[in-house]
Copies of this chain bind each other. A is one copy, B any other.
């Protein structure tokens, strides 16, 4: 609880104009993009630099007040919901692109930079930052780093983790540390850069990041492969990779998703087929053309009823935008949209899609499935209504079965959304008790007073997924 003494200390650090404990101000930051989680913070604070964050953390550490760093709150694991109260920390003053270094191919940013703004700026210099979470229009780089965000280009280019070269971060005790640098190789001590990436704000507060860039591919082509059989689509994915082609994007949408997306985007997507693969390749033009031709052949051989190349970059961009809008489109169906990211080895996609359909039938639910087929990262999505207790119980049971199935197939409970509060009860499925104990030991070592985003990643109790706490 933030008492008057703590409040005064915090205001003396950031100024009254950057401290807000009005009811309206707190309400705005009482939830994030995750359905059904809400909890009021005691205050919202907007520091201007790492030094101020260091001072804030010292106050929080000595008083035991929770602190929840938050970018744009687009995460889907309730990772930025202040479930234990305390202070929500915003980066609105720390949103600058500090440097684009064309000789070392790096960009150095503050955490509050909007992902797409940065991508546009580096692309204007002929450089490329590949991680592209669907929320990139509004997400921040700091949020992406904390969640280790993925996206559509993960298969070929990797995820956020693969592009973070160095960080400045403030630890719970107020120490400011720097990890890595503009260095392709650095083995000086443990890999704290990657320990912080994806740690969901529970180990430190990131205040600056140096990211790796690569040359912008010189060309790109996009195509759609249509299937009347889900399994044929899934097998095409495996076959493409086994034929040693790594496309830039290999997205899967099932029929229910297609219908909803077309209804939303109105770009002429086929809705009379069972599944679609959205396939892109980028690189030197000769290579792109060769790969697209080979992939079209593979898809046809695996039973695609049609393979259509986008006629123009405008048409391709429309397809990509439609795909990125899948969550927004699905969210229009019912008041509560539960979107998950169970992930399996790509050879198991056909089995996973089949299992999702069976589970959805078993519980009388309508689950739409789409996602990053190329990296086995599926998004089974259930439009539901949180006010319908019976339905929500069935949703909960269905997703538990989906997670168990993913683990059984060698997969994981979360490919790119993070654990947060949402997946915490299932973490043991993936890590076992020994794995969780080891991670908790690291958390306790770096944050002994448990002030950094407490209640996230590690579950307090088991198996209560959809908590309504308003």
A residues contacting B by CB (< 8 A) are 101-105, 126-127, 147-148, 150, 154-155, 158-159, 161-162, 171, 175-179, 181-192, 194-195, 197-199, 203, 214-216, 238, 241-242, 244-246, 283-284, 286-287, 290, 341, 343-347, 372, 374-377, 410-419, 423, 427, 430-432, 434-439, 441-446, 457
Please indicate which of the listed interface residues A286, A438, A441 has the most CB atoms of chain B within 10 Å of its own CB. Answer: A438
Contact status of A195 and B198, CB under 8 A, knowing A439-B189, A445-B441, A446-B441? no
CB distance from A401 to the nearest CB of B (A): 17
CB pair B246 A181 closer than 8 Å: no
CB pair B191 A347 closer than 8 Å: no
Q: Which of B127, B161, B244 contacts A215 (CB 8 A)?
A: B244
Contact status of A432 and B215, CB under 8 A, knowing A104-B345, A188-B412? no
CB pair A427 B184 closer than 8 Å: no
The complex is assembled from copies of this chain, and their number is: 2
CB pair B242 A103 closer than 8 Å: yes
Give Cα A125 to B344, complex, Å. 24
Give Cα A375 to B442, complex, Å. 31
CB pair B286 A419 closer than 8 Å: no
CB pair A457 B189 closer than 8 Å: yes
A154-B184, A187-B198, A215-B245 known; 11 other A-B pairs, CB under 8 Å? A103-B347, A104-B345, A150-B185, A175-B434, A183-B344, A183-B415, A185-B412, A190-B198, A194-B195, A284-B284, A287-B287
Give Cα A439 to B246, complex, Å. 37
Give Cα A416 to B415, complex, Å. 29
CB pair A190 B434 closer than 8 Å: no
CB pair A181 B410 closer than 8 Å: yes
CB distance from A180 to the nearest CB of B (A): 8
Give Cα A389 to B347, complex, Å. 61
CB pair B195 A190 closer than 8 Å: yes
Closest to A104 in B: B345
* Residues on the B chain within 8 Å of A377, using CB: 184-185
Give Cα A286 to B284, complex, Å. 9
CB pair B105 A241 closer than 8 Å: yes
CB distance from A160 to the nearest CB of B (A): 10
CB pair A147 B198 closer than 8 Å: no
* Residues on the B chain within 8 Å of A197, using CB: 191
Q: Can you name 24 A-B pairs with beta carbons within 8 Å?
A: A103-B242, A127-B244, A147-B187, A158-B184, A175-B438, A181-B412, A182-B345, A183-B344, A183-B412, A185-B341, A185-B412, A187-B414, A188-B419, A188-B430, A189-B419, A190-B199, A190-B439, A190-B457, A191-B191, A192-B435, A194-B194, A284-B284, A442-B445, A445-B445
CB pair B103 A188 closer than 8 Å: no
* Residues on the B chain within 8 Å of A419, using CB: 187-189
CB pair B104 A346 closer than 8 Å: yes
